[in-house]
Structure formats: structure tokens, C-alpha cells
Amino acid sequence: MDDRITLRLARYRPEEEAEPTFEEYEVPCRKDWVVLDGLNYIKDQLDGTLSFRWSCRMGICGSCGMTVNGEPKLTCETFLTDYAPGPVRIEPLQNFPVIRDLIVEMTDFMQKLTTIKPWIVRDEERPLAEGEYRQTPDEMSEYMQYSMCINCMLCYAACPVYSLDPKFIGPAAIALAQRYNLDSRDEGSGERLDILSQHEGIWACTFVGECTEVCPKDVDPAGAIQRYKLDAALTSLKSFLLPWGAR
């Protein structure tokens, strides 16, 4: 195996270019190097003008998501040797406006997350003197999978529905809503259902499943959406049969 590999990077400098272009850089292809190591090598040794996001290097912060050979990936978990002999094509995440080089605009994603009230909602907060809201391990296990989301946006980059309709609230936001709906301490499922039962919510999903395929934390957003659809259908049926006590 060659000890060097070529990275073909999408470059977009709005002050210089109207459209993205590609530039190639040769970097070491070491056994323990991930794509992010290659990008940092370019930034430090070859071209300090390259712009991209990263933070933790441990698959926790979610900030280093990019498109690697056409697939949404966390570059801190994607090894260069898996793409040898190369070249490796690296682009920004799809379905988002590009700010510069490999950096995308996150505003729409962040607004969608806040829309679903990603916090514990209580009809009436009890006094602090009464202590915490207790929860059993079994109750916690109900929502634990959906709490593993790191907001990396890979699922949005892979989602064909979001690609065609940017108003779609998207897989990560819906999975996050399920995380709180399934929390035994939360009482906000009705409020979230009012939001997610709209056209841009759960019913827009066509269950392609790409969001689950690319999720680096096995959150299974596609499964969360289908579960939410079932819950919404049952709630609707109850409201029809029992209009005074559906929720």
C-alpha cells in the first residue's frame, strides 16, 4: 500500500469564486490516520486557507461531518486506509448552503431542533423542596437510544425528503422529540404532536431509511419516525372515539 494518498477537496471561497471548485492535495496515508488527520495536515502544512469544522476528534461533538466519496461521514471516524489507493473526494454535507470550503450553514437545522421543544415539559413544576423527578432504569431505557444523537446532521445530508423539501423538519429533530416523549418525566407530547403532525412533520417522511444507515450513533431516526407515526395515529383514533380524554 502506498504511504501517501490524494485528497480531492471541494473549495469555495465566495469572495473569489461563484461556484465550488476542486483542488488536490497529497497527504500521508498512515494506518491510524482518519480523514480529519489528512485535512489538518493540509491546513497545517500545505494550505492554511482551507476551512472546515472540527472539535473533539472522538465522534462526540458531531461537528466534523462531511461528504466522503459521496457518503455523509464523521471525518474523525473515517480511516484513510479504507479509501486507499485513492483519491478521496471530500465535499461539504449535502442539502445545506455552503459558507466556505467544507463549512455549511447550520441555522435551519438548529431552528428545527428548537421547534420540537427539546426539553422536559411539565404541566406544573413542583417545588424544588419536594426533590427530583425519579426514574427507574427501565424507564430510562425507553428513550436512551434516541438520546445518543450528537447533532452531526449526517441524517439530513442523506435524507431525500429534506433534499426535495427543506421545510421538512427532518429525522434528527423527530428522533429528539421521541426522546422526550418517551421520558417518564415529560408531559409535553401533546404539544410536540401538534407541531409534528403538520405537513412538514412526520407524515412527509417516505421511510427510505438513509438517515438510519448513515447515523454514527445507531440512533435509528427512521425507526423513531415510524414509531411516532403509530403514536400519532393512535392518538388521533382516541381523540375520535374518546374526544374528552385522548391525551
CATH number for the domain that contains residue 171:
1.10.1060.10
- Per the structure, the count of domains in the chain is 2
Residue 167 burial (CB count, 10 A)? 13
Same domain, 80 and 115: no
166 CA to centre of own chain: 15
Q: What are the E-state strand segments in the chain?
A: 4-11, 21-28, 65-68, 71-74, 88-91, 98-100, 103-104
132 lies in some domain: yes
Same domain, 230 and 111: yes
DSSP calls for 52-70? -----SSSSS-TTEEEETT
> Which residue matches cell numbers 467544507?
102
Nearest to 151 by CA among 195, 116, 193: 116
Answer whether 36's CB lies under 8 Å from 23's CB. Answer: no
How far is the C-alpha of 169 from the C-alpha of 205, rounded, in Å? 10
Instruction: Note down pLDDT in tens along the chain; length 247 residues.
Output: 459 999 999 999 999 999 999 999 999 999 999 999 999 999 999 999 999 999 999 999 999 999 999 999 999 999 999 999 989 999 999 999 999 999 999 999 999 999 999 999 999 988 989 999 999 999 999 999 999 999 999 999 999 999 999 999 999 999 999 999 999 999 999 999 999 988 899 999 999 999 999 999 999 999 999 999 998 888 777 776 776 655 5
Same domain, 170 and 54: no
Write down which residue in 69, 104, 139 finishes a domain.
Answer: 104
Same domain, 19 and 43: yes
Same domain, 144 and 206: yes
8 class by beta-carbon count within 10 Å (0-12 exposed, 13-18 middle, 19+ buried): middle
How far is the C-alpha of 72 from the C-alpha of 213, rounded, in Å? 10
140 lies in some domain: yes
Q: Which domain holds residue 236?
A: 107-241
247 lies in some domain: no
pTM for the full predicted model: 0.91
3-class secondary-structure state, position 103:
strand
Same domain, 117 and 99: no
17 class by beta-carbon count within 10 Å (0-12 exposed, 13-18 middle, 19+ buried): exposed
How far is the C-alpha of 55 from the C-alpha of 154, rounded, in Å? 16
* Alpha helices by DSSP H, 197-241: 210-214, 221-241
Residue 62 burial (CB count, 10 A)? 20
Same domain, 161 and 227: yes
The domain that holds 45 is classified in CATH as 3.10.20.30
Write down which residue in 55, 72, 104 finishes a domain.
Answer: 104
Same domain, 222 and 115: yes
139 lies in some domain: yes
Residue 156 burial (CB count, 10 A)? 30
246 lies in some domain: no
What pLDDT score does 240 carry?
66
Same domain, 112 and 219: yes
Same domain, 10 and 42: yes
Write down which residue in 83, 104, 125 finishes a domain.
Answer: 104
15 lies in some domain: yes
CA angle 27/28/33 to nearest 5° reads: 110
Same domain, 124 and 29: no
Same domain, 72 and 175: no
